[in-house]
Chains A and B, each alone.
Chain A
Amino acid sequence: MNQDLEKKLPIRPSRTKFYSNIGLIIAILISSAWFSGFNVFEIFANIRFAFRLLNSLFFPPAWDYADNVIGPLLETVQMAIVGSFVGAILAFPAAVLAANNFIKVKGLNTGMRLILNFFRTIPALVLASLFVAIFGIGSFAGIVALSIFSFGLISKMTYESIEAIDYGQVEAIISLGGNKMNVLRYAIIPQVLPQYMSYTLYAFEVNVRAAAVLGYVGAGGVGQTYQIWLDLRRFDRVGIIIMISFVAVLIIDFISSSIRRRLV
């Protein structure tokens, strides 16, 4: 190399950090697998049981039962729709309170975020069992569980969007003599509305999948039928439920995500 060039070239930054990070990630992976009892050999040793189960699930499919799946599946989708809708409505004011560029009261932001995190920590299934205990068996408990679950999801993502808005538009509304409500209406909502709707649709997609399981604890929908036929070891009927649900989820995901692409 040219001597002058070599003199000007800065000292190469140390790569130690990069290698140590990779080492750390590998260590975490291996130790997690070890602690949770994950064993690759066990998978291979039991693989024939898996094939046997697959065989009884799908070969042949219980077509004659298909008609009975549609009703509970529709109920599941309805639960997901109502749950996402209620969750979204509750999420917006919560997100506004949690966003530190709108309400500049640190205590309020932190308090709100704690509440949101609390709701997000509880799995939907646990929420559903709690509400089944309160409201009894049926889809209402499921709807309440999904509402709270969507609330946690949508409010978290929405408040992060509010914090990422272009603050110049807020300045403009303040300079016009606007109050907090004006700032919300003219500077914040127009900027976050597409994202907010997109998060609501995303919550709906997640809810359709979650709702399918909720019935397992008695919270209505297609999950309840899963439970019945699994208990009776009628795997062919479980199989047809899985297939039809899979197609329904695919269609819903496709429609929802194509709307979302157009939103943002």
Chain B
Amino acid sequence: MIKFVNVSKTYPNGTVALTDINLEIKEGEFVAILGLSGAGKSTMLRTINQIIDVSSGNIYFNNVDINTYEMYGDDVEKEIKRQKELNPEFDETKLDLQEIDITKIKGKNLRKMRSNIGMVFQNFNIIKRMSVIQNVLSGRISYNPTWRTVLGIFPKIDKEIAYEALNKVDILEKTYHRASDLSGGQMQRVAIARSLAQNAKILLADEPVASLDPITTFEVMKFLKKINVGDGITTIANLHHVDLALEYATRIVGVRDGKIVYDIQIKDKPEKQIIRDLEQVYGRPLSHDDFVGDD
């Protein structure tokens, strides 16, 4: 679904964040990216939706419809079926699926590509002075003309999509609350609902639980896993805690000094072995701080 080819990033101030990244991520995977702070995890995530541009290299997405920039992913048949359910008049003969390099497109097309890719953040980045429903509706901005989004008038169908998204993360009862009145865990669930409303095929999660207490951490991780498995949303999460990666992800990618130094499917290796391997990624023995729970 996503393919990094020789991606490097050097910031204007000279900091080298990524060096020659090659990585392929399949549809439906839950990839945990582990590594020390400053290893380049955040930069790597942000190059996928081009919030940060690359210095060199390419990032390809397969089966993108060149007319709408909608992603059809690895399982094209499944996505066509889903589109037909959403829209009975959907005409698959008009599809023109191609491989798109997101680093090479700009403007409107780039924005259309981004609308396939949801993102949740450590600080939630929801609009605190707006209501929960307005926040989730903002996930629909790329599907509506600018005048509508600026006036904040969304069609009924978008509202239904928003309610459904809120229901999926169990927070429908907060629909009309002001976002700033929510707790951290609730805010992150609103952010996830926003990505769901966006109809994201890929979800980027940048330290999604780093500002949360242990109990809400597991709660939010469960919702991420739920939409990964239930809706087939490919999830890529930067995580701090090794046990979270082992419990919720399907694959661990280790980043050190801007390079990928470790890449493994979790089911292929015993956990103890992976934990031992990760000492190479961190360059130090793992401690209690690298785990949420001590058990």
B-contacting residues of A (Cβ < 8 Å)? 166, 168-169, 171-179, 181-182, 185-187, 190-191, 193-194
Contact = CB atoms under 8 A, between A and B. Distances in A.
17 contacts: A168-B123, A169-B127, A172-B119, A173-B141, A174-B114, A175-B119, A176-B115, A176-B118, A176-B139, A176-B142, A177-B198, A178-B141, A179-B111, A185-B150, A186-B149, A190-B127, A190-B130
Contact of A186 (B112, B141, B142): B141
A165 B115 CA distance: 24
A70 B227 CA distance: 67
A176 B125 CA distance: 12
Contact of A179 (B123, B146, B194): B146
B112 A177 contact: yes
- How many chain B residues sit at the interface, stated as a range, is 20 to 34
Nearest to B179: A190
B235 interface: no
Contacts of A181: 146, 149-150
A179 B123 CA distance: 22
B295 to A, nearest CB: 33
Nearest to B123: A168
Given A177-B114, A181-B146, A172 B141 contact: no
B129 A175 contact: no
Contacts of B149: 178, 181-182, 185-186
Contacts of B123: 166, 168
Contact of B142 (A169, A172, A178): A178
B127 A182 contact: no
Contact of B129 (A168, A173, A179, A190): A190
B229 to A, nearest CB: 23
Given A168-B125, A185-B150, A176 B114 contact: yes
Nearest to B191: A172
B121 interface: yes
Contact of A174 (B51, B129, B130, B152): B51
Nearest to A178: B141
Q: In this complex, which of A176, A178, A186 has the most chain B Cβ atoms within 10 angstroms of its Cβ? A: A176
A169 to B, nearest CB: 5
B210 to A, nearest CB: 13
A192 B118 CA distance: 25
A256 B236 CA distance: 49
Nearest to B204: A175
B228 interface: no
Closest 7 CB pairs of A and B: A177-B142, A177-B115, A172-B125, A175-B119, A168-B125, A190-B129, A177-B114
Nearest to A193: B129
Given A169-B125, A175-B118, A176-B194, A182 B51 contact: no
B127 A171 contact: no
B138 A176 contact: yes
Contacts of B112: 177
B224 interface: no
B138 A186 contact: yes
